[in-house]
C-alpha cells in the first residue's frame, strides 16, 4: 500500500497521533464531568470546564458505518480497502475515522466490535481498528 | 411572515455559459458569458449591478473547483458595487444567495449578481487527479482526521453516510438507480445537458462501484461552465421584464455539529434542521410544491432531500422513487428536470437554480413541466453543509 498522508500536529491533536507509541489511544476528557471531547479542544461543551486533557481509553469500539473503496484514485491504489467511522466503547458520540485492517473488506459489518492497533509512520502512530477476535 | 428578509427579494434573471467536458475558453470568459446573459435576462445593464456574490470564492489551487471570484469578475465587467462577498463558510453553495439577501436588507445593494464557476473538466485533464490529498504535505484542519486513511475524495466521506442510509432504510440498488436513470431521461430533452443517451436500471446495476454503495452513475459529472443569477430587491424586481421569482423562504441553520465525523445523524447529514428552518418561514407546505431541484452531487443527496423536505416519510424515499413515475416530468413531483448535475453537469447547485427558474418561467421547451409550475423547492448539501430555498413565481 502507498504511504499515508499524515496529519499536521498541533497542541490539541498531538496525543491522539503519538500515544500509540505506548500502545495507548488518547481521547480528550473533561476532568470535571468525565465527558469525552472529540475532536480535542481544551473546553468541555457539556459543563464548560477548561480542565480537559488526553486520557487513554480502552481502544475498543464499534463500526458505526463504513465503505469499501473500489476506485483507484491514484496509481498503485489497487486493492479494495475499508474506510470506517468507529464509535469508542466509552462514549458512542465520539467517532473516529479509520481503516479496518486484518479483515477482508467484505467481512466488515455495521456494529462490528473492533479494537485499536497502531501503525508507525515517521514520528506518528496512526490508529487503525481490527475485529475483536476473543 | 413578512418580517423575513428573503421575502423582499426575487430572482429576476438567469444566465448559463456553454457547459462542456472541456471548454474552448477560460473560466473567466465562461463567467462573463453567464453574467452578461443573466444581466440582460433581467432587463438590466452592467451599471445596474450594485452587488456581487459567489461561493466559495476564488481558489487558485488548480483544482477548477472555484477558479473565479468576485474580484476577477468585478474587474472584467468593471462593475461598481456597494457590496460583495465570496467565501466557503456558509450553508453550502447557497450561502452566496443568503448573504446577498442580508446585504439587500441592509441597504447595501439592490441588484446582486451571484455566480458559480467550475473548471474541473479541464483541470482533471491536466494536473489535478481528483485527489484531496497532496503527496508529501501534512494535512492540517478538520480534514486531518481523514487524511491518513486514503480518503482521496469527498465521495469516500459521503459514501460513509450513504452506506448507513442504505443499511437503515433498506433501499435497494434498483430503487437508487431511478435517480440516475430518470435524470438521464430528462437530460435527453435538455439541449445543454452533457449526457443525453438513455440508460437503464440494468446499465446502472452494471456500472462500476466507486465506494460502496456509490456507483459511477450516482456521481455528478465534472464540467467547465458557469451559472449566474440576479437577485433583486422586490420593489426593483416588480419593474423588470420577468415575473419575479420570489425567494419565499430559506433554510440556513447550523443547529447541529458541523463535522464530517461527529454529525449526530450521519445518514441524513445536515439536511433535516435546514429543511425544518425553511418550512418555519413560510405558510406553504410540501404538498404545495410543483417541482423540485434537489442537490445531486451524488444521487443519494436527492434521495435524502425527498425525505428531509417532507415529500415522503423518513426512509420512505425507496417507495416514493420506486419505478420512477412520481419523480418523472409528468409525475406528481418532477425532480431535477434538466438532468441535474448527474447528466446536465456539475454546476454545484447553481445549475439547479437556473433550471428552477427556466421551468417557473415556462422556458424549458421539450422538458417543460405541464400545468404552469409556480413553486419550486431547491437545495444544496454535502455532509455538514446544507442550504434550502423555496422559490415562488408571481
- Using CB atoms within 10 A of its CB, is residue B174 exposed (0-12), middle (13-18) or buried (19+)? middle
Please list the alpha-helical segments (H only) found in chain B: 27-41, 70-77, 95-105, 120-125, 154-169, 173-187, 201-206, 234-237, 271-280, 299-308, 317-321, 340-343, 350-360
Least CB–CB distance from B149: residue in A74, A83, A95: A83
User: From its phi and psi, is residue B185 left (phi > 0), alpha (psi between -120 and 50) or beta?
Assistant: alpha
* Chain A closest-CA separation from residue B280 CA (Å): 28
Cis peptide upstream of residue B55 (ω within 30 degrees of 0): no
Q: What is the pLDDT at residue B337? A: 98
User: What residues does each domain of chain A span?
Assistant: 14-131
- Mean pLDDT across chain B: 96
Q: Which residues contact B24 (CB under 8 A, 6 or more apart)?
A: none
Kindly determine whether residue A97 and residue B151, on different chains, have CB atoms separated by under 8 Å: yes
Kindly determine whether residue B266 and residue A85, on different chains, have CB atoms separated by under 8 Å: yes
Cell digits of residue B355: 433550471
What ipTM was predicted for this assembly?
A: 0.97
Tens digit of each residue's pLDDT (9 = 90 or more) over B109-168: 999 999 999 999 999 887 655 667 777 789 999 999 999 999 999 999 999 999 999 999
Q: What is the pLDDT at residue A2? A: 85
DSSP for B43-63, written as a single string: T--GGG--EEEESS----SSS
Q: Which band of pLDDT confidence, cut at 50, 70 and 90, is reported for residue B11?
A: very high
Q: What is the pLDDT at residue A21? A: 98
- Mean pLDDT across chain A: 96
Q: Which residues contact B61 (CB under 8 A, 6 or more apart)?
A: none
Whose CA is closest to B153, among A49, A126, A28, A71? A71
Tens digit of each residue's pLDDT (9 = 90 or more) over A77-88: 878 999 999 999
Q: What is the pLDDT at residue B126? A: 74
Least CB–CB distance from B138: residue in A8, A68, A110: A8
Considering only alpha carbons, which residue of chain B is nearest residue A124? B148
Q: What is the pLDDT at residue A33? A: 98
B interface with A, Cβ–Cβ < 8 A, is 129-131, 133-135, 137-140, 142, 144-153, 155-156, 159-164, 167, 208-214, 259, 261-262, 264, 266-267
Please state, in angstroms and as integers, the Cα–Cα distance from residue B176 to each residue in B83, B196, B377, following that order. Answer: 43, 20, 21
Q: pLDDT at residue B372 above 90?
A: yes
Please, what are the domains in chain B? 5-125+220-393 (3.40.47.10)
Q: Which band of pLDDT confidence, cut at 50, 70 and 90, is reported for residue A134?
A: low
A interface with B, Cβ–Cβ < 8 A, is 1, 4-10, 13, 38-39, 64-71, 73-74, 77, 81, 83-85, 93-99, 110, 121, 126
Q: Which band of pLDDT confidence, cut at 50, 70 and 90, is reported for residue A76?
A: confident
Give the count of beta carbons closer than 10 Å to the beta carbon of residue B78.
Answer: 8
Q: What is this structure's pTM?
A: 0.96
Percent of chain B clearing pLDDT 70 (strictly above): 98
Amino acid at each position: 500500500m502507498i504511504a499515508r498522508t499524515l496529519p499536521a500536529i498541533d497542541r490539541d491533536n498531538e496525543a491522539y497521533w503519538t500515544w500509540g507509541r505506548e500502545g495507548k489511544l488518547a481521547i480528550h476528557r473533561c476532568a470535571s464531568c468525565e465527558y469525552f471531547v472529540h475532536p480535542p479542544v481544551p473546553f468541555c461543551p457539556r459543563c464548560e470546564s477548561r480542565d480537559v486533557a488526553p486520557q487513554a481509553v480502552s481502544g475498543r469500539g464499534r463500526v458505526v458505518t463504513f465503505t469499501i473503496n473500489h476506485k483507484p484514485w491514484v496509481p498503485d491504489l489497487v486493492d479494495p480497502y475499508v474506510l470506517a467511522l468507529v464509535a469508542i466503547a466509552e462514549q458512542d458520540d465520539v467517532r473516529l475515522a479509520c481503516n479496518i485492517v486484518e479483515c477482508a473488506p467484505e467481512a466488515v459489518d455495521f456494529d462490528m466490535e473492533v479494537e485499536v492497533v497502531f501503525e508507525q509512520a515517521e514520528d506518528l502512530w496512526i490508529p487503525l481498528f481490527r475485529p475483536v477476535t476473543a | 411572515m413578512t418580517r423575513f428578509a428573503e421575502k423582499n427579494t426575487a430572482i429576476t434573471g438567469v444566465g448559463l455559459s456553454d457547459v462542456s467536458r472541456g471548454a474552448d475558453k477560460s473560466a473567466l470568459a465562461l463567467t462573463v458569458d453567464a453574467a452578461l446573459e443573466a444581466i440582460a435576462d433581467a432587463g438590466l445593464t452592467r451599471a445596474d449591478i450594485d452587488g456581487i456574490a459567489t461561493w466559495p470564492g476564488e481558489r487558485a489551487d488548480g483544482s477548477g473547483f472555484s477558479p473565479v471570484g468576485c474580484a476577477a469578475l468585478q474587474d472584467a465587467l468593471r462593475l461598481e458595487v456597494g457590496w460583495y462577498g465570496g467565501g466557503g463558510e456558509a450553508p453550502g453553495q447557497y450561502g452566496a444567495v443568503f448573504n446577498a439577501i442580508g446585504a439587500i436588507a441592509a441597504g447595501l445593494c439592490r441588484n446582486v449578481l451571484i455566480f458559480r464557476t467550475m473548471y474541473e473538466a479541464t483541470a482533471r485533464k491536466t494536473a489535478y487527479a481528483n485527489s484531496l490529498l497532496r503527496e508529501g504535505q501534512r494535512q492540517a484542519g478538520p480534514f486531518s482526521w481523514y487524511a491518513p486513511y486514503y480518503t482521496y475524495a469527498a465521495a469516500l466521506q459521503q459514501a460513509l453516510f450513504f452506506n448507513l442510509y442504505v443499511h437503515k432504510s433498506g433501499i435497494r440498488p434498483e430503487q437508487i438507480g431511478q435517480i440516475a436513470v430518470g435524470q438521464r431521461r430528462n437530460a435527453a430533452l435538455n439541449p445543454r445537458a452533457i449526457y443525453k443517451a438513455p440508460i437503464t436500471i440494468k446499465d446502472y446495476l452494471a456500472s462500476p462501484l466507486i465506494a460502496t454503495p456509490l456507483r459511477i452513475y450516482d456521481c455528478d459529472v465534472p464540467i467547465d461552465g458557469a451559472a449566474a443569477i440576479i437577485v433583486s430587491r422586490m420593489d426593483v424586481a416588480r419593474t423588470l421584464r420577468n415575473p419575479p421569482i420570489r425567494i419565499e423562504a430559506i433554510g440556513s441553520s447550523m443547529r447541529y455539529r458541523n463535522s464530517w465525523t461527529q454529525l449526530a445523524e450521519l445518514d441524513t447529514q445536515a439536511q433535516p434542521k435546514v429543511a425544518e428552518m425553511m418550512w418555519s418561514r413560510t405558510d406553504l407546505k410540501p404538498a404545495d410544491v410543483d417541482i423540485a431541484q434537489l442537490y445531486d452531487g451524488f444521487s443519494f443527496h436527492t434521495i435524502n432531500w425527498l425525505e428531509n423536505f417532507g415529500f415522503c416519510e423518513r426512509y420512505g424515499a425507496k417507495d416514493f422513487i420506486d419505478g420512477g413515475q412520481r419523480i418523472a416530468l409528468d409525475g406528481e413531483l418532477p425532480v431535477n428536470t434538466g438532468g441535474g448535475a448527474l447528466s446536465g453537469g456539475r454546476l454545484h447547485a447553481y445549475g439547479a437554480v437556473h433550471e428552477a427558474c427556466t421551468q417557473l418561467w415556462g422556458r424549458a421547451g421539450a422538458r417543460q413541466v405541464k400545468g404552469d409550475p409556480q413553486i419550486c423547492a431547491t437545495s444544496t448539501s454535502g455532509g455538514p453543509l446544507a442550504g434550502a430555498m423555496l422559490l415562488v413565481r408571481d
